């Protein structure tokens, strides 16, 4: 075997070794990011209270995860829609909030239902909790689409979540 062949063989072994450890480092970094995301992601838990027609609705909200820097919620109770913003520290105990009446709904709902629940964590990432806690890449576009689907454009906005300044 010539010296050139030995050098090529050594270089090939070094390349395989480097690729193996680069893959291991990438997997470790991904696991660390998932752990960090799990520690910082807010996990809101909502319990519905009573609501009188045309009045505000009472909710009990607790945060089982990381800091909920800003959030927006739209609730369908009976035949009315209620909406509001919220923010909670990490691992917050249950807290009562009152959501103001926004508009009459297009249909009657027997059980209270959360139509929109968006939360922004301390790092600025947004999450959709109606759809199982999926991450939202563009909160402005996502919220605009949700409000358009609910026919609520211009009735409610969540500037703390989307980053827009109120008009």
pLDDT at 113 over 70: yes
Determine how many CB atoms are found less than 10 A away from the CB of residue 96.
10
Question: Is the pTM above the cut of 0.85?
Answer: no
- Phi, psi for residue 66 in degrees, rounded to 5: -75, 180
Per-residue pLDDT reduced to its tens digit, 34-82:
776 666 678 788 888 777 777 888 899 888 888 888 899 999 988 889 9
Rounded CA separation 44/62 (Å): 6
What are the pLDDT digits (tens) for 30-43?
A: 887 777 666 667 87
d(CA 165, CA 115) in angstroms, rounded, equals 24
pLDDT surpassing 70 at residue 164: no
Q: State the distance between the two ends of the chain, measured CA to CA, in whole angstroms.
A: 78
φ/ψ bin of 142: left (φ > 0), alpha (ψ from -120 to 50), beta (otherwise): alpha
Distance CA 51, CA 109 (A): 13
| Residue where the block lists tokens 């109606």 | 130
């Amino acid at each position: 075997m010539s010296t050139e062949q030995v050098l090529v063989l050594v270089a090939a072994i070094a390349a395989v070794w480097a690729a193996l450890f680069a893959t291991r480092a990438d997997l470790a970094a991904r696991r660390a990011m998932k752990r960090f995301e799990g520690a910082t992601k807010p996990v809101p838990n909502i319990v519905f209270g009573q609501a009188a027609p045309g009045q505000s609705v009472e909710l009990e909200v607790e945060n089982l995860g990381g800091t909920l820097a800003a959030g927006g919620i739209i609730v369908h109770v009976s035949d009315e829609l209620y909406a509001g913003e919220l923010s909670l520290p990490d691992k917050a105990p249950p807290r009562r909030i009152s959501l103001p009446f926004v508009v009459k709904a297009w249909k009657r709902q027997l059980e209270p239902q959360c139509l929109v629940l968006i939360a922004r964590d301390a790092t600025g990432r947004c999450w959709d909790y109606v759809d199982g806690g999926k991450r939202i890449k563009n909160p402005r576009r996502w919220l605009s689409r949700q409000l358009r689907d609910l026919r609520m454009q211009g009735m409610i906005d969540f500037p703390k979540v989307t980053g827009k300044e109120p008009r």
